[in-house]
Each structure stands twice: as C-alpha cells, then as structure tokens.
Amino acid sequence: MTTARSIIPLLNRLISRSQPSRSVTYMHRPGDGAPRPVTLIPGDGVGPLVTNAVEQVMEAMHAPVYFEKFEVHGTMKKFPEEVLDSIRKNKVCIKGGLATPMGGGVNSLNVYLRKELDLYASLVNCFNMRGLPTRHENVDIVVIRENTEGEYAGLEHEVVPGVVESLKVITKFCSERIASYAFEYAYLNNRKKVTAVHKANIMKLADGLFLEACREVAQKYPAIQYNEIIVDNCCMQLVSKPEQFDVMVTPNLYGNLVANTAAGICGGTGVMPGGNVGAEHAVFEQGASAGNVGKDSIVAQKTANPVALLLSSAMMLRHLQFPAFADRLETAVQKVILQAKVRTKDLGGSSTTQEVVDAVIDALD
C-alpha cells in the first residue's frame, strides 16, 4: 500500500530548512556567468599535479570559475587562518591531499579542515566506467560517510606506558544528520535503497545509536528501501556482489574502508569522484583515499591519475549550478576513458598526467 509523496509538504520542508534561502528551481539570468571564486589548495605529493590538471581543463572550457590558490602542507602545525577565511568566503574549495605524518601525535590537516568547516558528509560515487573493465558489472554505489566524529574524534591517550586508549565518539545529533543527508540524497537522485553499515553486534552502544538514528530517519522516507549490514559482511558482499548496493551510509571509519573498497572494485581511487559537504561549505577532492598523496615515484615521473579530481571538479561545477559545464567535462573524461588510448599506470597504461589532460581537453566539445 504505497501512498504518493505529497509535493507540498516536501517543498515546505525544503524551503523552510534552507538557510540562507536557496531557490528550489534555477533559471539562469544575465550575470550568472560571472566567474565564481573557488579556493584551490594544491597540497602535497601528487596534489599539485592533479590540481594543475583541473586548472588547465577549467581554463580550456572557459568555465566561470577562478581559483584562489593557497599553499598548505601536511607538515604545517596548523591550518593557515587565511586559507580558512578564503574557504568561508568562497564556500567552495577544491584540494589535493595533505600528507599526514604517521604516528607522533600530529593530527591530520585533512581531518582538521573537515571538522573546522563542519563538513559532515563525505560522498564517494563509485561506478563502472565504460571502457574500464572490472570484475563486476552494473556497479553504482554512493558511499555517504559521517565525516566529523566516530573513530576520528582524535581522542587518544596512553593510560600507562604500553597501553593506549582510543575513544570512538558517536552522537545522536551527527548520526541523525548523516542519515538525513543520505536519505535526502537518495530521494533527490532517484536512488532506491539506503544501506546502513555498522558493527553493532560488537559496539552495541556506539553503533547501536547510529542505527537508531538511521531507522528513525528511514521511517520518514517510506518509498526508499532501508536495510542494515554488518561491516565485515559488507566488505565481503562488496567484493562478490556489489550490484546489490545503492546508497550506503556509514560512520567514519567504516566509511573510509567501504569507500576505498568500492572505489577499488570500480577501477581504483584514481578515478572515483567525491567531495565533503557541510551545511555551508563544500570541499571537493579525490573521492576515496583523499589523504593518500601517492608514492614519490609517481610524483617524480608525473604519472598521477587526474581523472578523480577532474570528475570531482565536475561535481563542483554542478554544486556551483553550472550543469552544462559539468556535463561537458564528464563527457570528455568518459570519452577519454572509453577510448583507452591514454591512461595512467593505475589503469594499466603508461601515460603521464599531462597526456591525460591534453586528451581530455581535445575531447571537449
């Protein structure tokens, strides 16, 4: 017994919820093509290579964006205040990864940025690309990962020498927020199913709370199928039958693993787009494994794969409400992948980043 979702209450919800107010429909008006500023952070390792790729392609498309570039490195003690101000002003940022030193109590600047700007949702879209054969077909998964708490709360302490305690923090507020994001995303993008990933059999209170929040939100979207899966089973299903998944909502750490696994089965983290979204800001970076800045050999030989960041910049163009440019960019990238002539090493080819960029620019219509 399905009841059609009445449109008026939904519109009311949408309009009342958006602050500042954002029009539900968008018609271009003269002046909308004025270039929008976007903060650009090249980052470390392969970051400068791939962000440079984005700059070149944007220029070639004459896209109405201009970049305010800032140098930030993972070794900095704290995130420069001027960069944060720039992002707060522009509301949109595109960045390469910042290398986090292992151990030693230095917190990741990538994580710091997400927390500081309250980018509570991390989105990775993993899908089969035509021309990139993988072991599975018909995969189209969106992993929506809680981005601010959970195992990444950064609360660790050494109780006695040789014994370390790490706190995983799960709150009802954040869980509800991410579940709402996931269901709303599913609803607005014609997705049929949302799967919550958890380990509530072991972490009964923490993941139990997360599940409770997801279930509550699920009730508000009766047309969307909702199910739950334990994270270890989820990993296994991902590698054997990934077609069964549609949208997945997860707490922080599981989201990291699931996103990377899903990206791997569709071709690797070099091709999957993604971004971090908050109520006010959006930071676009490589979909999964954004903190991975690549091996030195890749940097030296300039063979990093720019596809992920190019597709993320297409997401950014949509976010800025320039869908036609986004379509052009995505079509060009997909054409290059389909032709399979120019590919970097992670996709089985031997081209350099610049060659891929040139191919994409040639493929632009």
Residues that bind another protein (CB under 8 A): 102, 199, 201, 230-233, 235-240, 253, 256-257, 259-261, 263-265, 268-269, 288-289, 292
- State the minimum distance, in angstroms, from the CB of residue 240 to another protein: 4
Question: How far is Cα 50 from Cα 308, in angstroms, rounded to an integer?
Answer: 9
- State the minimum distance, in angstroms, from the CB of residue 289 to another protein: 5
By C-alpha distance, which of 58, 116, 166 is closest to 280? 116
Q: Residue 358: CA atoms inside 13 Å, Cβ hemisphere, count?
A: 8
- State the minimum distance, in angstroms, from the CB of residue 6 to another protein: 36
State which residue, 145 or 177, has the beta carbon closest to another protein: 145
DSSP element (H, E) containing 286: strand 282-286
Q: How many C-beta atoms surround the C-beta of residue 77 within 10 A?
A: 6
State which residue, 15 or 239, has the beta carbon closest to another protein: 239
- State the minimum distance, in angstroms, from the CB of residue 151 to another protein: 9
Q: Residue 320: CA atoms inside 13 Å, Cβ hemisphere, count?
A: 28
State which residue, 48 or 150, has the beta carbon closest to another protein: 150
Q: Residue 78: CA atoms inside 13 Å, Cβ hemisphere, count?
A: 5
Question: How far is Cα 30 from Cα 5, in angstroms, rounded to an integer?
Answer: 35
State which residue, 226 or 322, has the beta carbon closest to another protein: 226
State which residue, 11 or 167, has the beta carbon closest to another protein: 167
Q: Which two structure tokens, joined as six digits, stand for 344?
A: 């970097």
Encode burial over 187-206: b for 16+ CB neighbours within 10 A, e otherwise: beeebeebbbbbbbeeeeeb
State which residue, 253 or 279, has the beta carbon closest to another protein: 253
SS3 category, 142:
strand
- State the minimum distance, in angstroms, from the CB of residue 264 to another protein: 4
- State the minimum distance, in angstroms, from the CB of residue 282 to another protein: 22
- State the minimum distance, in angstroms, from the CB of residue 268 to another protein: 6
State which residue, 86 or 269, has the beta carbon closest to another protein: 269
Place of tokens 């929008």: 36
State which residue, 65 or 259, has the beta carbon closest to another protein: 259
- State the minimum distance, in angstroms, from the CB of residue 266 to another protein: 9
Q: Which residues contact 303 (CB under 8 A, 6 or more apart)?
A: 344, 345, 350, 351, 352, 353
State which residue, 52 or 289, has the beta carbon closest to another protein: 289
- State the minimum distance, in angstroms, from the CB of residue 247 to another protein: 19
For residues 314 and 273, is the Cβ–Cβ distance under 8 A? yes
Question: How far is Cα 70 from Cα 50, in angstroms, rounded to an integer?
Answer: 15
DSSP string, 301-339: HT----HHHHHHHHHHHHHTT-HHHHHHHHHHHHHHHHH
- State the minimum distance, in angstroms, from the CB of residue 61 to another protein: 30
Q: How many C-beta atoms surround the C-beta of residue 102 within 10 A?
A: 6
The CA-atom distances, in angstroms, between 301 and each of 310, 351, 361 are 20, 10, 21
State which residue, 124 or 363, has the beta carbon closest to another protein: 124
